[in-house]
């Protein structure tokens, strides 16, 4: 049985504002299918097997970039980030304060006790929950987006999961842009219609030149935020560009200072 200490602690916190978009990362080929079908289909994954799900990160275009995790997936090599309205993804199935895939692969073992289970970190599946996590562990939305844990957070000794999570997000990782450890993950059972649900999409500029893609995006009133494709040879080279695009979009939409 899962423990509810972290869930209860988070639930008592105020929810930081403003609410951020929910970011779903996919690849260039799937984007074409999604736009043609008008919906995002859930997919099977290793962590919750037999349960097709759609994954989102709260506000952050977080995804894996470390080559030492095996082959880089195409959605990491040529990523497309769909920025969903936070009201569009409902009902939320599960929320974790980190990437559940990383937990499953024991990437956080250094910070967590070996008896801790993924379920111990499950949070209230409510759109206000990410804001509550931010209030407690990051203080501000901007600090969360920049993966900067609040230095002054004090936690009771009995809050084992919260203290472990704090230790995890305070670590200085070798690749600081791989910030999935503190990216709040939301799961949705899907499928999810995209019409009226997506505000913007970050995509390679080649794709942005496609009349087919452009017409579909215009029809769904999705802002296209292109990043340059031709000078990119490794994912790590354009992670920063994708972050910059997302953050600038938030700033100019009034979500960040």
Partner 1 sequence: MPHLDGCLIIAKDVPSFVVPVLVDRPGSNHSLIQEIDVENRIASFFEVDVGNAYEDTSFELELNVGDQAVWGFRSLNGEISLANAVTLRKELQGRLLEGEFTSFPLIEGQIAKFCNLSSAYASALSKAYELIQSRSKLAAAIWRDCSVLLPLAKKDLARNLPKHLRSELDSVRLIGTGKTILLELPPRVHDFVGSTLIELTDTLAVGSAFGLTSYALQGTDLGGRPSSPESTFDEPYGELMPFTGIGDAAAKNSPSYSRVRRLLPPWVSKSASPAAERPFVTFCVMNTGNDIVERALKYAKSLTDETVKIAIVTLPITFGTSVTGRKLSLIDHLNSLRPIFDYVFIVGNHVLQRPTGAAPRLAASSRAVKYVRACVDGIMQVVWASGAPNTPMEFFAIFPRDGFGLVGRALGTKGTAPEQILQEAIASALNERLPLHHGRRLLVVAPPHIVDNGHILSFLDKAADATLNETMSIVSSNPRAAVTLLGFGIRPVGQTESRHREFCLELLHSRKFSIIREAEAVVHGEFAKGRTIVIGFSSSERSLGRATAAVEKTSRKTRCVLTNFALSPSDTEYFWRQRIAVFHYSLLDTYLDRKMSLPPLWRGR
Q: Is 253 in the site for partner 1 (CB under 8 A)?
A: yes
* 51 vs 42: CA distance, rounded Å: 9
Give the range of 91-99, 107-115, 129-137, 193-201 binding partner 1 by CB under 8 A.
Answer: 193-201
Binding test (CB under 8 A) with partner 1, winner from 10, 23, 65, 78: 78
Is residue 23 within 8 Å of 83, Cβ to Cβ? yes
- Chain centroid to Cα 15, Å, comes to 18
Which of 126, 139, 159, 199 contacts partner 1 by CB under 8 A? Answer: 199
Which C-beta is closer to partner 1: that of 157 or that of 254?
A: 254
Output the smallest distance, CB 194 to partner 1, in A.
Answer: 11
The two structure tokens encoding residue 88: 């569009």
Q: Tokens 């695009």, residue?
A: 245
Among 66, 146, 159, 170, binds partner 1 (CB under 8 A): 146
Site for partner 1 in 2-21 (CB under 8 A): 18
CA distance 74 to 236: 13
Q: Which of 45, 47, 73, 118 binds partner 1 (CB under 8 A)?
A: 73
Q: Evaluate whether 225 touches 253 at the Cβ level (below 8 Å).
A: no
Are 186 and 42 within 8 A, CB to CB? no
Binding test (CB under 8 A) with partner 1, winner from 49, 71, 158, 174: 71
Measured from the CB atom, the residue of 75 and 120 that comes closer to partner 1 is 75
Annotate each residue in 100-139 with x if it binds partner 1 (CB under 8 A) or - if it does not, as one string: ----------------------------------------
d(CA 256, CA 18): 8
- Closest by Cα among 7, 5, 20 to 183: 20
As measured in angstroms, the least distance from the Cβ of 17 to partner 1 is 9
115 φ, ψ to 5°? Answer: -85, -10
Tokens linked to 217: 């995006």
Single out the segment in contact with partner 1 by CB under 8 A; choices: 36-44, 154-162, 163-171, 241-249. 241-249
Cis peptide before 53 (omega within 30 of 0): no
Residue 123 is given by DSSP the state B
Chain positions contacting partner 1, by CB under 8 A: 18, 27-29, 32, 67, 70-74, 77-78, 85, 87-88, 146, 195-196, 199-200, 204-214, 218, 221, 223-231, 233-234, 240-241, 243-245, 248-249, 251-254
């Amino acid at each position: 049985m899962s423990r509810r200490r972290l869930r209860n602690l988070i639930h008592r916190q105020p929810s930081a504002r403003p609410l951020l978009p929910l970011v779903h990362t996919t690849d260039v080929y799937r984007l074409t299918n999604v736009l043609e079908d008008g919906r995002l289909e859930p997919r099977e994954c290793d962590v919750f097997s037999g349960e097709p799900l759609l994954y989102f990160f709260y506000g952050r275009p977080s995804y894996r970039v470390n080559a030492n995790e095996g082959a880089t997936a195409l959605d990491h090599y040529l990523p497309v980030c769909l920025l969903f309205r936070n009201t569009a993804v409902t009902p939320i199935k599960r929320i974790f304060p980190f990437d559940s895939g990383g937990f499953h692969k024991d990437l956080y073992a250094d910070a967590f006790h070996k008896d801790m289970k993924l379920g111990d970190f499950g949070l209230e599946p409510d759109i206000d929950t990410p804001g509550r996590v931010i209030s407690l562990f990051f203080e501000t939305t901007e600090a969360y987006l920049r993966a900067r844990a609040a230095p002054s957070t004090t936690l009771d000794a009995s809050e084992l999961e919260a203290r472990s999570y704090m230790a995890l997000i305070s670590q200085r990782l070798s690749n600081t842009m791989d910030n999935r450890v503190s990216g709040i993950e939301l799961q949705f059972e899907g499928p999810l219609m995209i019409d009226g649900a997506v505000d913007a999409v970050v995509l390679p500029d080649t794709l942005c030149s496609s009349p087919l893609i452009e017409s579909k995006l215009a029809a769904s009133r999705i802002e296209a935020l292109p990043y340059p494709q031709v000078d990119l040879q490794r994912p790590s080279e354009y992670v920063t560009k994708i972050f910059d695009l997302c953050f600038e979009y938030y700033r100019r939409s009034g979500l960040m200072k």
